[in-house]
Chain A
Amino acid sequence: MIEKLDKIKRNFHAETKKVSTINDIEQLKIKYLGRKGIINDLMKIIPTLPSEQRSLFGQQINLLKTDVTNIIEEAHKRFHSESSSKVKKELFDITLPGKHPFIGKKHPLTQTIDDIKDVFARLGFDVAYGPEVELEYYNFEALNIPTDHPSRTDFDTFYIKNDVLLRSQTSTVQIREMEKKKPPIRIIAPGRVYRPDTVDARHSFMFHQVEGLLVDEGVSFADLKGVLNQFIKTYFGQDVQMRFRPSFFPFTEPSAEVDISCSICGRKGCSVCSYSGWVEILGAGMVDPNVFKAVHYDVEKYSGFAFGMGVERITMLKYCIDDIRLFYENDIRFLSQF
């Protein structure tokens, strides 16, 4: 039987030398390894053999099978690589466009608010919210803006009824938070505010603000500068310049307006910065003692600062958007850009 195997082996080697096409290999494979091939036929003999020969013969057949399989596979590979180098196949074009999964976008104003939250969260500020329909007291009196005071001119307001209005600023949240808690307080309050302004490229009767408040013992104007500097450099970039100007807000004393160097013209002067090289981005100041009195805080023990910024304004500056109405038209072609 062993001689029979040797003969088969010799024949196989002889035949492999004559192979010239991939088709020949296929034929050879069927002849030896196919279901009705030579090796399978040999397998069928095993049960007919005397039991002491079965094991040895089985091993021999398996060796032969491995040998044949390897040789055929090698030949296969050889022909494959030869054919692919000789015959020009279909071109695999890696420059065809990728298939993009369809992903939406957060509204640009949300993105700005998220960025602001992010910077201030790192500085330990929590996010606080308050009602948009608000008592007049929280929008005005508690913030040191008395009735019939000329500063109210800056705060024209939508009213619902006598002492109920749509908040014209997120500063209302300051009072509500301080009524709830004792210092230390560190919050930012993003939200919608409303003012009866006729809509044009720069004005909207509804817009967003983010208010900030920090109250503790020994808080100073220098700390206010530090915190806002941190925010502005993070949000607008390390190269941006910052300028603090004295200003007036009834609920802070001293009060400041903060300008940054105009990113559009690089301080050379353009229409965005009214040719001054600076653009105003937020109002801030040390919390006025009258505000602390309204919430029964000890004005000798505690001090604090507050700041407020317009989300639309900051977003417009960051992306050079020239019309505030775009935020509320929600044209997908606009939203998809951010």
Chain B
Amino acid sequence: MSSRIKVLALLVALMFVALSTRLWFLQVLATTQFQQQARDNSVRFVYTEPLRGLMYDDRGRPLVGNQESLEVRVNRDAMGTQAEAVVYRLAHLLNVPVRMLVARLQTNRYYSFQPIPVAEFVPPHVRDYIAEYQELFPGVDVVPTSVRAYPQGRTAAHILGYVSPIFAGEYDRLKNKGYQQSDVIGHSGLEQVYERFLRGSQGIQKFIVNSNGETIRALGVKAPTAGDDLHLTIDLRIQRAAERELADELARARSGHDINGLPLKANAGAVIVMDAQTGAIKAMASLPSYDPRWLVRGLTKSEADYLYKSAAAPSLNRAIQLGYVPGSTFKPITALGALKEGFATLGGYYTCDATYTHPGDTSGTVFHNWTTANLGTMSLAKAITISCDTVFDGFGSKFYFSYVQNQLSDSGLLLQNDLRELGFGAPTGIDLPSEGSGLIPDPAWAKTRPDLFPDGWVPGGDILTMIGSTYMMATPLQLAQAYSAIANGGHLCRPHVVDQVVAPDGTVVKRAEDRCNRTIPYPPTDLAYIRGALGSVITSGTAQCSFSGFPTSQVWVGGKTGTAERPPHQDTSWFAAMAGHNPNAPKYVVIAMVEQGGFGAEAAAPIARHVIEDIYHLPNNGQGGCAVGDR
């Protein structure tokens, strides 16, 4: 057999000889020719844009859709010698000034061979005309494109966000992610945060072209995949109600006056409705606002100025992006801290004098209650109900003493640590962009502000934070999160706007779950006690007037007014509420805030009341704001 194996080996050896010879020929002798051919080979890519994902409210009602726009695009290279005439004819046909057209063409955002969009939503007859007289319009193309549609108009504009063309500086970062210079991208709201889901993937067609640019062969075709849809936690009905009540109340508040007799400006405000048990945002309104449809058809100069340059800052989502001094809405939160550290007890009584001086303080600093009357001693619940500042000032002193005694360790900053545990001083992590952190004043921060704290941390730092005043800052959303924890028995739920991300084939790509996995270290009895106090605020406290006639037997409501001084501006009006059929586990937390709106009971409380009435299909009652209460 072994001689025959040699035959086999010989045959195999011949194979190698044949292959090596041929390789030598191809790669060594003839390589120049093949290298030239490799250079002549080139691929042209043609992209098909995917349909962007849609957005729905919690019951599947459409919030953001897509619509077709006929877009006129001009390829500057292809206009040739007729450029001037073509632009003139096109301006005439589109009925726009020539200089506007020229302005859109004189951009360096595009390469000269890339078509530049110059007009959107042109009528079909324009397309037909250009097609018919194409020789008069070299380089001009009318193509159908898909753009955003907003079936609910301005509703929820801040949440939904908008798409707009990629900025010049942004493209470098995005070009490796399959974006083209001419693409749009989410620049705000959910459009921004969920860009990678909403976008879908481009269809790509590759063509081999030869050195003359003729297509030799189609290489591969990848069909575009539509983006994933977002199913929001927002309830369109509540969202509309929140926006309407906020707008109505801002308008009404402007007819009122501040304590100096000047008309209230009530220039801006925000409302949040959050499901206290899950962290799901049911509504979030912020005024002033804008219309996302402006961006679809292209901003006019005045719209762009209003949106990006005006002092009104309508693109700001005030519910989450700005920190405000929370005022007395902060008292239930600091009360929890005082209980936890043993500075207050459920059975204790505290003096509510007209003024308060920190024990041993000789600087002459005096803290005033909102009333000059001496209200005697009272329980913690009562102090919340009537919003007594001086009771809380006393707790502030105790926090300050604990700081003095433990200056060298972090554990001395009891108040600040308690507030951080409740979610203040850091973004809540909601799925919306540019969330604010607010501010918890502490000794380290005081060092950076010698203008405010020339002697470093002083008792006033803790005392003022106790009543949510002066330096303490919180976003309305942080308040909503903390109040939800009080409502749900101690779970800090991460607020969220998107419930599910669903792929075009129906599979759930992402789901909001386990958002309430942080617990705060407060016994249920303390939380129930605070809820009871909040209930009394409505029935017999600072919001009694604002909620007069409200059917609390049908829907339990607890809340807290806040009137935050903000010199030189007028006071910020706050109301933080919780409502539900079960007083032990209220379903909703409603936060209302009006910039320069006066007393908490005056502007914000009526908004919260009306939103709660709308949620529970109750008739809107009450005489509106009451210029009373804590200041």
Q: Are A and B a genuine interacting pair, yes or no?
A: no
